[in-house]
Structure 1
Amino acid sequence: MGKLPLFIFFRDSRNVLKKDELGIEIANIGLPATFALMADPIASLIDTAFIGRIGAMELASVGISVAIFNQVSRITMFPLVSITTSFVAEEEATIKSTSEAEDYENVGSNQDFGLEMVPLTGSSDMKIAKSEDNRRRVPSASSALVIGCMLGILQTLFLISTAKPLLRYMGVKPESPMLKIAQQYLTLRSLGAPAILLSLAAQGVFRGLKDTKTPFYAIIIGDSVNILLDPIFIFTLRLGVNGAAIAHVVSQYLIFIVLIWRLVENVILLPPSFKELQLGRFLKSGFQLLVKVISTTSCITLATSLVARLGPKPMAAFQVCLQMWVATSLLADGLAVAAQAILASAFAKKDYEKIVAAASRVLQIGLLLGLLLSFFLAAVSQLASTLFTKDSDVLNLMNISFPVIAVTQPINALAFVFDGVNYGASDFSYSAYSMVAVAVVSISCLFILSSSHGYLGIWIALTIFMCLRVFVGLLRIGTGMGPWSFLRS
């Protein structure tokens, strides 16, 4: 491997886009995952475009509600889907390795007696034994769905009961006309939380099985329905922003129904005993990622709160720009999904050669993708801004944000990919506690720069936040610490 782990980032850089076995595996997992991850932000952008036609006040109100909903959801959904992906991938790799070894022994022993064995297939649908029920027994799948259901119900109850205090914390004053609109939207949107958490648990199972196409198809169906229902509920039925919330909730339950229908065809979801639920294992790793997500969420939530205090128009501009920032950055999150699934499987098999090759390849592709996104956003930013609002003040503020959004794309891409690499190594504790340090520095920057530079200062602080995330990811692997200690041997 070499004595300098830092060299992993430059390994085989000439072959970054080579269509070899690894490149095809990354593409088969990463591309559908990318499209799936992009679908919801794009649907949200379309929601934003429809709402923006109602007025700047409604756009700002929904922006605050969406920010609260998304940040609360991040606390639960990212630990759930990330842990599920790693655990299912590890179980699948272990089962396959054991089955292949047993099959090899059985073939050898039966050949001595002149018996013929039916060979196992080499696909992800490999049958361990011939039976009437050929579905996989994956205990982590059942665990994820049970936990997802509980978390979804708790999230709904929490958001409904605390909607008004949360909005006040975000800077919406009691006498503001934004309060009633935002509260109604947040309450309705929260009814979809159980479907979202269950859908994410199911997506984590499919990702662990290296199947990202099924979630993609389900999300496309759900989001297409959302887009079709938006103009009907908002304008035809004259429900306004409430119609947008209802359309979104309907789409989320539809996504869950499609995913669970496909999942029961491939996985046995009812474990034979309570012990197989592995709730303790999920909760331990989940707590570590919860620390990370709270740290990340606190930075974004604080930034949104600081912008909300500047008024409705800065908030409207920030809402649109943040949606674009997240939507484009999530392109790299598809790479992170591929990295996590491949690395979790490789770590379970202790295939260090593949670990190094996969980690270096996804990081290099992530950097290249970030550069391409920078050029793309720089080219379309002026045109894109007019799709969301005609308000000149909001447009001027959006034009301030666009250069920052474009320049930070390579940084954002690497930050997402580093997360996937660390999750693939099950390095949840480092991911959590390093993010606490990042959040402390970033929150300080948010207060200082928002006071001195206002709206622009908040975007600069968010850029510092993403740079620090890349640094801690680089530090872990580049110095060969934790699960990467084999790089120093």
Structure 2
Amino acid sequence: MVALALPAFGALVAEPLFVMADSAIVGHLGTPQLAGLGVAATLLTTAVNVFIFLAYATTAAVARRVGAGDLSAAVRQGVDGIWLALLLGVLVVAVAVPGAPALTGLFGASGNASGYAVTYLRISCLGIPAMLIVLAATGVLRGLQDTRTPLVVAVAGFTANAGLNLALVYGAGLGIAGSAWGTVTAQCGMAAVYLAVVVRGARRHGVPLRPDLAGIRACATAGVPLLVRTISLRAVLVIATAVAARLGDAEVAAHQILVTLWSLLAFALDAIAIAGQAIIGRCLGAGDTDGARAACRRMVGWGTAVGVVLGALVAVGRPLFIPLFTSDPTVRGALLPALLVVAVTQPICGPVFVLDGVLMGAGDGPYLAWAMVGTLAVFVPAALAVPALGGALTALWWAMALFMLTRLLFLGARARSGRWIVTGAVRE
């Protein structure tokens, strides 16, 4: 578990650092630019992460085949997932680029912030096919029990992204557009590296690289429950940003920083979940139900402990890292109390992310979809009540805490039931 989780931790932390670097660099251009980035980044991450099943479903499916001893079928599954990622990426670009003004307008941000949001979104959308290929290829390698290669690629990608952003935003004077171009370039470079690794593995195992329509269709069908689950999850984040935008530019700018930090913490906790996906999938593929149960218990314990530590670090470090993102005293004032809510929520987030990974590794997508829709039904009225009752950003983040607590109740009940334990190379 540790051998898989530690490299996964580094790779997952590097991913939200892309947005964190953009936020830190763009934040010093001004509050309207940071607010525009907040809206555009929410739409961009939604457009990409709604297809997170490309990584998660691929990890579980490949790991099951590895556990059953069929490496060729495992790699074939991965190649089909990458073709599906490319097709979905092209479709998203075709919709998002011309629709950028209408999409950003849904958030109700000010005219200044909306203009910057459209600029960033239109450029950054061009990198979506590369981002989806990275997701699918990462899932292949995780399923093959390789989390070190994604770590190397993610760290290199983050380093390139930060350097390009600084050079283009300030050196070339491109402003927020430079930040978007830097991120697109870094993501395309990462996709090229992953493709080279997967192609080499396919040739080693004699797996053809041409698209297989039946295999692509099977990948898409298997991903539908996780797609529903992810759409519901992203709806929570989009609604939260829309509520923050209606509270004012300072509030949505502060909210963007909070979401960035939240994502960083979530991906850190998700490292244990990634190990869970690979280990649980392999155990169930090999018919080892006792090993799957034991791994689940250990990972929940580790997730809770890591959540407590992260929460303490956020609470203590609040005054230290706020200046990294903004010099606006109004934004800082909104951030300080809301960060305390983020800190308090982390011990709940730990087991939530771990159990999410365990059930994904088991291929329990239908339950995850149903549970997330139920959680969304609890969150929406709580979030919409914040502006209606005159609440501030801190109240919105208490609604986020309620969201995580509801997820814990759903996932904990499923884990205790044992109904997720289904063995075999393919979950029937």
Q: How does 1:426-437 map to 2 (within 5 A)?
A: 426-437=363-374
Partner of 1:402: 339
Partner of 1:54: 29
Question: Structure 1 residue 470: deviation in Å?
Answer: 1.0
Q: Distance in 2 between matches of 1:425 and 1:300?
A: 26
Counterpart check, 1:178 vs 2:113: yes
Secondary structure of the residue aligned to 1:265 is: helix
Q: Distance in 2 between matches of 1:417 and 1:432?
A: 16
Partner of 1:43: 18
CA contact (8 A) 1:139 1:277 kept: no
Q: Distance in 2 between matches of 1:338 and 1:35?
A: 13
Among residues 274, 279, 282, which one is paired with 1:337 in the alignment? 274
Question: Structure 1 residue 450: deviation in Å?
Answer: 3.7
Secondary structure of the residue aligned to 1:95 is: coil
Q: How does 1:206-217 map to 2 (within 5 A)?
A: 206-217=141-152
Partner of 2:353: 416
Q: Distance in 1 between matches of 2:184 and 2:210?
A: 34
Compared with structure 1, are the counterparts of its residues 208 and 66 closer, same or farther at alpha carbon in structure 2 (3 Å cutoff)?
same
Counterpart check, 1:92 vs 2:66: yes
CA contact (8 A) 1:449 1:460 kept: no
Partner of 1:245: 180
Secondary structure of the residue aligned to 1:239 is: coil
| One-letter code aligned to 1:48 | S
Q: How does 1:304-383 map to 2 (within 5 A)?
A: 304-383=241-320
Partner of 2:163: 228
CA contact (8 A) 2:39 2:117 kept: yes
Secondary structure of the residue aligned to 1:267 is: helix
Counterpart check, 1:456 vs 2:367: no
| One-letter code aligned to 2:13 | M
Partner of 1:480: 418
Residue-by-residue CA offset, 1:121-171 (whole Å, 9 max, x unaligned): xxxxxxx8xxxxxx8872101110110001111111121121111111111
Partner of 1:74: 49
CA contact (8 A) 1:91 1:138 kept: no
Which structure dedicates a bigger proportion of its chain to helix? Answer: 2
CA contact (8 A) 1:140 1:278 kept: yes
Q: Distance in 2 between matches of 1:276 and 1:347?
A: 27
CA contact (8 A) 1:142 1:277 kept: no
Question: Structure 1 residue 198: deviation in Å?
Answer: 0.6
Partner of 1:444: 381
Partner of 1:255: 190
Q: Distance in 2 between matches of 1:419 and 1:226?
A: 29
TM-score, normalised to structure 1's length? Answer: 0.83
Secondary structure of the residue aligned to 1:181 is: helix
Among residues 89, 96, 100, which one is paired with 1:159 in the alignment? 96
Compared with structure 1, are the counterparts of its residues 59 and 339 closer, same or farther at alpha carbon in structure 2 (3 Å cutoff)?
same
Question: Structure 1 residue 278: deviation in Å?
Answer: 2.2
Secondary structure of the residue aligned to 2:139 is: helix
Q: Distance in 1 between matches of 2:171 and 2:379?
A: 44
Q: Distance in 1 between matches of 2:355 and 2:173?
A: 45
| One-letter code aligned to 1:467 | L
Partner of 2:217: 280
CA RMSD of aligned residues (A): 1.8
Among residues 202, 222, 226, which one is paired with 1:289 in the alignment? 226
Q: How does 1:124-163 map to 2 (within 5 A)?
A: 138-163=75-100
Partner of 1:131: none
Question: Structure 1 residue 284: deviation in Å?
Answer: 2.1
Unaligned stretches of 5+ residues in structure 1? 1-25, 97-127, 129-134
Question: Structure 1 residue 271: deviation in Å?
Answer: 3.2
TM-score, normalised to structure 2's length? Answer: 0.94
Unaligned stretches of 5+ residues in structure 2? 424-428
Secondary structure of the residue aligned to 1:317 is: helix
| One-letter code aligned to 1:92 | V
Partner of 2:327: 390
| One-letter code aligned to 1:248 | T
What is the aligned residue count?
420
- Which has the higher Rg, Structure 1 or Structure 2? 1
CA contact (8 A) 2:83 2:216 kept: no
270-279 or 416-425, which deviates more: 270-279
Question: Structure 1 residue 188: deviation in Å?
Answer: 0.3
Compared with structure 1, are the counterparts of its residues 257 and 274 closer, same or farther at alpha carbon in structure 2 (3 Å cutoff)?
closer
Q: Distance in 2 between matches of 1:257 and 1:279?
A: 21
262-271 or 331-340, which deviates more: 262-271
Question: Structure 1 residue 336: deviation in Å?
Answer: 0.5
CA contact (8 A) 1:53 1:389 kept: yes
Q: Distance in 2 between matches of 1:438 and 1:63?
A: 24
Q: Distance in 1 between matches of 2:211 and 2:25?
A: 47
Partner of 2:406: 468
Percent of aligned pairs with the same amino acid: 29
Question: Structure 1 residue 393: deviation in Å?
Answer: 0.5
Question: Structure 1 residue 275: deviation in Å?
Answer: 5.8
